[in-house]
Amino acid sequence: MLRLLCHVLSLLVVGHSSAVKNCHPGCRCKVENFGQFDSFSLTRVDCSGLGPAASMPVPIPLDTTHLDLSSNTMGPLSDSMLTGPGYTTLISLDLSSNHITKISLNALCRLRYLENLDLSDNSLESLSSRALAGLPLAEVDLSYNSFQNFDMDVFATKVNGEPVIVDLSHNQIRSVSRGDQGGVPLIQSLSLTANRLTDVPALGGLPLRYLNLDDNPIVSIREGAFSQLKDLVHLSLSGMNQLREIQPHGFEGLESLQVLDLSENPELKMLSLAIFTGLESLQELNLSNSGVTSLPSNMLAHLPSIKSIVLGQGIQCRRTQKQGQFHWQLGQVTHNDVLTCNVAGVVV
Contact predicate 81/74, CB 8 Å? yes
CB of 313 to ligand NAG, least distance (A): 10
Q: What is the pairing mode between strands 308-312 and 315-321?
A: antiparallel
Of these, 200, 264, 302, 341, which contacts ligand NAG (CB under 6 A)?
264
* Contact (Cβ atoms closer than 8 angstroms) between residue 193 and residue 144: yes
Q: Which is nearer to ligand NAG, 103 or 310 (CB)?
A: 310
* Least distance (Å) between residue 237 CB and ligand NAG: 11
Binding mask 310-339 for ligand NAG (x = CB under 6 A): x-----------------------------
For the CB of residue 235, give the shortest distance to ligand NAG in the complex, in Å: 13
Smallest gap, in angstroms, from Cβ of residue 96 to ligand NAG?
Answer: 22
- Least separation in angstroms between CB 316 and ligand NAG: 8
Binding to ligand NAG, residues 268-307 (CB under 6 A): 286, 288
Q: Tell me: does residue 238 bind ligand NAG (CB under 6 A).
A: yes
- Residue closest to ligand NAG (Cβ): 263
Q: How far apart are the first and last CA of the chain?
A: 61
Of 65 and 265, CB closest to ligand NAG: 265
Q: For the residues of 234-248, what is the DSSP string, one character each?
A: EEE----TT--EE-T
Q: For residue 42, what are the β-bridge partners?
A: 32
Residue type, 200: V
For 299, counting Cβ atoms within 10 Å of its Cβ (0-12 exposed, 13-18 middle, 19+ buried), the class is middle
How far apart CA 199 and CA 214 sit, in angstroms, is 12
- Is 98 an interacting residue with respect to ligand NAG (CB under 6 A)? no
Closest CA relative to residue 102, chosen from 70, 79, 69: 79
| 118 versus 264: smaller Cβ distance to ligand NAG | 264
Residue 214 interacts with ligand NAG (CB under 6 A)? no
Q: Position 15: which residue type?
A: G
Helix residue ranges per DSSP H, 257-336? 299-302
Residue type, 249: H
| Distance of closest approach, residue 239 Cβ to ligand NAG, in angstroms | 7
Cβ closer to ligand NAG: 259 or 338?
Answer: 259
Q: What is the CA radius of gyration of the chain?
A: 24
Task: Between 248 and 314, name the residue whose CB sits nearer to ligand NAG.
Answer: 314
Residue 212 sits in the site that holds ligand NAG (CB under 6 A): no
When asked if residue 103 is in the footprint of ligand NAG (CB under 6 A), the reply is no
3-state secondary structure of 341: strand
SS3 of residue 294 by DSSP: coil
Measured between alpha carbons, how far is 271 from 246 in angstroms, rounded to an integer? 7
| CA 149 to centroid of chain Cα atoms | 17
Interface with ligand NAG (CB under 6 A), residue total 6
- E strands, 53-155, in order: 66-68, 92-94, 116-118, 139-141
Shorter beta-carbon distance to ligand NAG: residue 166 or 235: 235
**Residue placing its CB nearer to ligand NAG in the complex, 74 or 240:** 240
Q: Could you say whether residue 121 binds ligand NAG (CB under 6 A)?
A: no
Does 263 interact with ligand NAG (rule: CB under 6 A)? yes
CB of 214 to ligand NAG, least distance (A): 9
Question: Which positions lie near ligand NAG, rule CB under 6 A?
Answer: 238, 263-264, 286, 288, 310
